[in-house]
């Protein structure tokens, strides 16, 4: 395929794969797309390992890294995280009421409590990475590798990130959910906009991909735009590019690939889910994020809930709890299976078979060509 | 253009225009698409007049009618409507609390109350048409005209509608928001499915057009599918057809055309609105319907609200109130302007200029061709 982003990144297909799993990143890059590693869950040390592994497996082909630099986080929690106390201080900022609700939830669903002191420490890692300091360390690690793209998954990338990336000659991408945000990203110096519709998994706004993409394309022209949200097939890729996108950014579709490290009970749920089985909820990160509907989302959004906390505190609670829930769910515990969930978009309804990631790429490219052929038949 | 639905209906472009305004219906039909008159607001007598006018203005070209036959309505209200008391009995079913909230709303926003006894009667017409009897009378009037399509905007068309239409040789279309609903519509004998994404104006589900259309296409093949929701430009039309749709069904885009009878204050709001300015709310009909966000939606969804009633009672309250609000808003009353709203999809953000309806058709067709050209450049 020939598009501006194919030339910009030296790739065959303008298909960007966001994944937390290095195997998916490498597989998509090797298949002619561009894999982007979601780094938020990693410590700098772990990220260093992952990127070294990717370098060893892509033979110099282009890949990228995605960090989460929230424009607005719970500042008191962030300050606590920056202080001497570190994680402990941040954990202390979680109200007792929320721990109590969480413990009651475990009891209600018959899930044994983890060693919570240990778990709290392990959990808190997800939370600290979304502070400015945490993200900054991940950026430094990333730029020391031959990455070809650095992306900000949430909010305008801070000058620090843009400056460091530009100095390293690495283009910066940013995800946006409105044309207004796109305008701000361009002003911040971003090179590539990812317009993400509300049907997407993870943090997302409410405007659909069909409406958002042409708005953002018109807003930021001549800057290239990738479309995200609801794209898991070649027909959807063709649709996105008919809307004016220069390529697509897919996240959900990799979660049921052979390579994905998605916890087995969650993978099963995704394979069985229809497009109706997702919900936009604050219960995992503190910000609205689309995910599988499960007992977890229902309980946190329900009448007995104290309400999800902000980011990053809710993330601290949720990530640790989910680690235990997934572990217990794998043993067949029915309550844990009810609670288990993960971020995924509405296209989960089309994710019905486990395939290798490279096969997903090839199928999308083939179906894209078929869709264009069909359109040509219509115009005659 | 050449698609299955172009042949099926003898039209040049597979572009269906849903509008409550006969001028839009005739203009789109005359421009080579297929206009569909939304009949729900009409009495049988008024519908007869409208269809006669359309017959006189389309020179035998194809057009259709859309009725609203809800699968589930407030049965006690419907029974009241069917009884001797008619409208009065139905009106008596509206709780005092809701009238009180409505009166307080008028006072808060400085909008003079209409003659409410008179208004209640006038208003109630919208409500009675959504009973089975009401819809049935509209179907009979419609089938006595040379219509080429009859559509059910909400829920599975009852056997009565399908049987009458088939006897008259008129294809039946039905709007769906999930693949499961599409399956039921096919079983009910529908000839054409309109897959409507959650970004659409009016009654709508939550699955986006990008995700829904391919699901429905695969579910009902070889039956043709029209895509609806978020489609106001040729790029979006091309995207919808890349997804596998045989054509598109547009509603919102006509509301700011020259021909549209949209109340001027609402038209102004629509021209100024961005794609963020809509909300899915039960406050106008009792069922979730996307519309302009306004003081009306905020107040009914707010903490002081008794909560919207079901359909058709909420419709009775809302339609009469809105008639007064629009009338007063035209005089410049600021409170009335804050309250004014109407059903519209997220594509309202792209509706920024008043154009003749036929120009909208021509622009979409031209932009569709451009989008296909661009896709061909990509595939090489």
The ipTM value here is 0.93
For residue range A2-34, list pLDDT tens digits in order: 899 999 999 999 999 999 999 999 999 999 999
Closest chain A CA to residue B378 = A2
Q: Which residues does A9 contact at the CB level (< 8 Å), separation at least 6?
A: A34, A62, A148, A149, A171
Angle B75-82/B116-128 helices, nearest 10 degrees? Answer: 110
For residue range B185-216, list pLDDT tens digits in order: 999 999 999 999 999 999 999 999 999 999 99
B183-221 CB burial, b ≥16 within 10 A, e <16? eebbebbbbbbbbbbbbbbbbbbbbbbbbbbbbbbebbe
Q: Tokens 């970004």 appear where?
A: B199
Does residue B125 sit in the same domain as residue B18? no
Q: Which residues does B143 contact at the CB level (< 8 Å), separation at least 6?
A: B150, B164, B165, B168, B170
| pLDDT for res A77 | 55
> How far is B14 from chain A, CA to nearest CA, in Å?
10
Task: List the Cα angle B100/B104/B109 in 5-degree steps.
Answer: 155
Which positions of chain A have pLDDT values less than 70?
69-89, 116-132
Does residue A297 sit in the same domain as residue A310? yes
Please indicate, yes or no, if residue A216 is contained in any of the structural domains.
yes
Rounded to whole angstroms, what are the CA distances from B339 to A356, B108, B252, B324, B333?
53, 11, 19, 11, 10
3-state secondary structure of A125: helix
Give me the total of CB pairs closer than 8 Å, taking one residue from chain A and one from chain B.
168
Half-sphere exposure of A226 (CA within 13 A, CB side): 30
Does residue A14 sit in the same domain as residue A123? no
**Of A230, A209, A14, residue with least CA distance to B275:** A209
Q: Can you give the residue range of the structural domain that contains B23?
A: 4-72+130-254+359-379
Report the DSSP pairing between strands A149-152 and B63-67: unpaired
Does residue B80 sit in the same domain as residue B24? no
Please indicate, yes or no, if residue A380 is contained in any of the structural domains.
no
Which chain B residues are closer than 8 Å to A179 by Cβ? 274-275, 349
Structure tokens that stand for B109 in this block? 């926003």
Does residue A250 sit in the same domain as residue A203? yes
- At B83, the pLDDT band (50, 70, 90 cuts) reads very low
Tell me if B2 and A377 make a contact (CB, 8 A cut-off). yes
Q: What region, left, alpha or beta, does residue B230 occupy, with left being phi > 0 and alpha being psi -120 to 50 degrees?
A: left
- How far is the C-alpha of A18 from the C-alpha of A28, rounded, in Å? 10
Please indicate, yes or no, if residue A55 is contained in any of the structural domains.
yes
**Of A237, A346, A224, A216, residue with least CA distance to A17:** A237
Q: Which residues does B315 contact at the CB level (< 8 Å), separation at least 6?
A: B126, B127, B130, B284, B285, B286
Q: Which candidate from A215, A233, A374 shows the least CB-CB separation from B214?
A: A233
Report the DSSP pairing between strands B34-38 and B15-19: parallel
For residue range A326-364, list pLDDT tens digits in order: 999 999 999 999 999 999 999 999 999 999 999 999 999
Please indicate, yes or no, if residue A194 is contained in any of the structural domains.
yes
Dihedral sign, Cα of residue A31, residue A32, residue A38, residue A42: positive
Which chain A residues are closer than 8 Å to B365 by Cβ? none
Does residue A210 sit in the same domain as residue A267? no
Q: What region, left, alpha or beta, does residue B110 occupy, with left being phi > 0 and alpha being psi -120 to 50 degrees?
A: left
Does residue A49 sit in the same domain as residue A93? no
**What is chain A's Cα-based Rg?**
20
| pLDDT for res A126 | 47
**Of B114, B100, B105, B107, residue with least CA distance to B295:** B105
Does residue A155 sit in the same domain as residue A169? yes
Q: Is the peptide bond before A222 cis (omega within 30 degrees of 0)?
A: yes
Tell me if B235 and A244 make a contact (CB, 8 A cut-off). yes
Which chain B residues are closer than 8 Å to A207 by Cβ? 199, 275-276, 346
- How far is the C-alpha of A158 from the C-alpha of B237, rounded, in Å? 37
3-state secondary structure of A198: coil
DSSP state of A345: -
Which chain B residues are closer than 8 Å to A275 by Cβ? 178-179, 207, 211-212, 215
| pLDDT for res A291 | 98
Please indicate, yes or no, if residue A344 is contained in any of the structural domains.
no
Tell me if B197 and A206 make a contact (CB, 8 A cut-off). no
Which chain A residues are closer than 8 Å to B275 by Cβ? 178-179, 207, 211-212, 215
| pLDDT for res B76 | 54
Does residue B101 sit in the same domain as residue B232? no
Tell me if A210 and B210 make a contact (CB, 8 A cut-off). yes
Dihedral sign, Cα of residue A111, residue A115, residue A116, residue A122: negative
- How far is the C-alpha of B206 from the C-alpha of A341, rounded, in Å? 19
- At B23, the pLDDT band (50, 70, 90 cuts) reads very high
- At B14, the pLDDT band (50, 70, 90 cuts) reads very high
- DSSP output for A16-75: EEEES-HHHHHHHHHTTSEEEEE-TT--HHHHHHHHHHHHHHSTT--EEEEE---SS--H
| pLDDT for res B84 | 42
For residue range B321-357, list pLDDT tens digits in order: 999 999 999 999 999 999 999 999 999 999 999 999 9
Please indicate, yes or no, if residue B353 is contained in any of the structural domains.
no
Residues A336 and A329: beta-carbon distance below 8 Å: yes
Does residue B240 sit in the same domain as residue B160? yes
Tell me if A242 and B377 make a contact (CB, 8 A cut-off). no
Q: Which candidate from A208, A244, A369 shows the least CB-CB separation from B210?
A: A208
| pLDDT for res A155 | 75
Q: Which candidate from A3, A206, A214 shows the least CB-CB separation from B236?
A: A214
Does residue B18 sit in the same domain as residue B136? yes
3-state secondary structure of A140: helix
3-state secondary structure of A246: coil
Please indicate, yes or no, if residue B169 is contained in any of the structural domains.
yes
Closest chain B CA to residue A235 = B243
- How far is the C-alpha of B256 from the C-alpha of B264, rounded, in Å? 10
- Give the domain CATH number at B221: 3.20.20.70
Residues A292 and A270: beta-carbon distance below 8 Å: yes
Tell me if B377 and A2 make a contact (CB, 8 A cut-off). yes
Q: Tokens 């451009």 appear where?
A: B370
Closest chain A CA to residue B209 = A210
Please indicate, yes or no, if residue B294 is contained in any of the structural domains.
yes
Q: How many domains does chain A have?
A: 2
Residues A192 and A171: beta-carbon distance below 8 Å: yes
> How far is A323 from chain B, CA to nearest CA, in Å?
29
Mean pLDDT taken over chain B: 91
| pLDDT for res A380 | 81
- Type and span of the H or E element at A165: helix A159-167
Mean pLDDT, rounded, for B39-67: 95
| pLDDT for res B77 | 55
Structure tokens that stand for B265 in this block? 């204050």
Residues A320 and A103: beta-carbon distance below 8 Å: no
Tell me if A379 and B372 make a contact (CB, 8 A cut-off). yes
Tell me if A207 and B276 make a contact (CB, 8 A cut-off). yes
Which chain B residues are closer than 8 Å to A195 by Cβ? none
Tell me if B214 and A235 make a contact (CB, 8 A cut-off). yes
Q: Tokens 């963020």 appear where?
A: B276
Q: Which candidate from A179, A197, A371 shows the least CB-CB separation from B208?
A: A197
Q: What number of other Cβ atoms are within 10 A of residue B64's Cβ?
A: 25
Does residue B269 sit in the same domain as residue B335? yes
**pLDDT surpassing 50 at residue B126:** no
Structure tokens that stand for B318 in this block? 């809302």
What is the 3-state secondary structure of chain B? CCCHHHHHHCCCCCEEEEECCHHHHHHHHHCCCEEEEECCCCCHHHHHHHHHHHHHHHCCCCEEEEECCCCCCCHHHHHHHHCCCCHHHHHHCCCHHHHHHHHHHHHHCCCCCCCHHHHHHHHHHHHHCCCHHHHHHHHHHHHCCCCCEEEECCCCCCHHHHHHHHHCCCCEEEEECCHHHHHHHHHCCCCEEEEECCCCCEECCCCCHHHHHHHHHHHHCCCCEEEECCCCCHHHHHHHHHCCCCEEEECHHHHHECCCCCCHHHHHHHHHCCCCCEEEECCCCCCCEEEECCHHHHHHHCCCCCCCCCCCHHHHHHHHHHHHHHHHHHCCCHHHHHHCCCECCHHHHHCCCCECHHHHHHHHHHHHHHHHHHHHHHHC
| pLDDT for res B78 | 54
Report the DSSP pairing between strands A202-203 and A225-228: unpaired
Tell me if B241 and A369 make a contact (CB, 8 A cut-off). no
């Amino acid at each position: 395929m020939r598009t501006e982003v194919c030339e910009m990144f030296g790739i065959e297909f303008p298909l960007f794969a966001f994944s937390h799993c290095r195997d998916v990143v490498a597989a998509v890059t090797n298949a002619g797309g561009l894999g982007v590693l979601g780094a938020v869950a990693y410590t700098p040390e772990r990220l260093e390992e992952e990127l070294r592994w990717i370098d060893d497996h892509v033979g110099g082909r282009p890949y990228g890294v995605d960090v989460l630099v929230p424009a607005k986080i719970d500042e008191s929690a962030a300050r606590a995280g920056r202080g001497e106390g570190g994680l402990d201080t941040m954990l202390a900022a979680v109200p007792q009421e929320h721990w109590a609700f969480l413990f009651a939830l475990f009891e209600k669903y018959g899930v044994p409590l983890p060693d919570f002191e240990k778990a709290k420490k392990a959990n808190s890692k997800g939370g600290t990475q979304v502070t400015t300091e945490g993200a900054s360390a991940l950026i430094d690690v990333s730029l020391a590798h031959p990455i070809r793209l650095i992306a900000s998954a949430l909010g305008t990338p801070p000058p620090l990130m843009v400056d460091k990336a530009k100095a390293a000659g690495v283009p910066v991408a940013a995800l946006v959910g409105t044309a207004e945000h796109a305008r701000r990203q361009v002003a911040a110096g971003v090179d590539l906009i990812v317009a993400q519709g509300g049907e997407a998994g993870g943090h997302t706004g409410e405007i659909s991909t069909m409406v958002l993409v042409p708005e953002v394309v018109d807003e930021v022209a001549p800057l290239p735009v990738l479309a995200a949200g609801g794209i898991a097939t070649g027909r959807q890729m063709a649709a996105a590019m008919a809307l004016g996108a220069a390529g697509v950014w897919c996240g959900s579709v990799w979660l049921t690939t052979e390579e994905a490290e998605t916890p087995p009970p969650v993978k099963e749920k995704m394979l069985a889910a229809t497009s109706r089985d997702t919900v936009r909820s604050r219960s995992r990160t503190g910000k609205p994020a689309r995910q599988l509907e499960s007992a977890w989302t229902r309980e946190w959004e329900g009448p007995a809930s104290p309400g999800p906390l902000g980011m990053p505190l809710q993330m601290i609670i949720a990530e640790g709890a989910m680690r235990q829930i997934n572990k217990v769910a794998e043993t067949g515990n029915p309550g844990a299976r009810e609670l288990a969930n993960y971020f995924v978009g509405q296209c989960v309804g089309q994710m019905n078979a486990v395939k290798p990631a490279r096969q997903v790429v090839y199928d999308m490219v083939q179906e894209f060509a078929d869709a264009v052929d069909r359109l040509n038949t219509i115009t005659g």
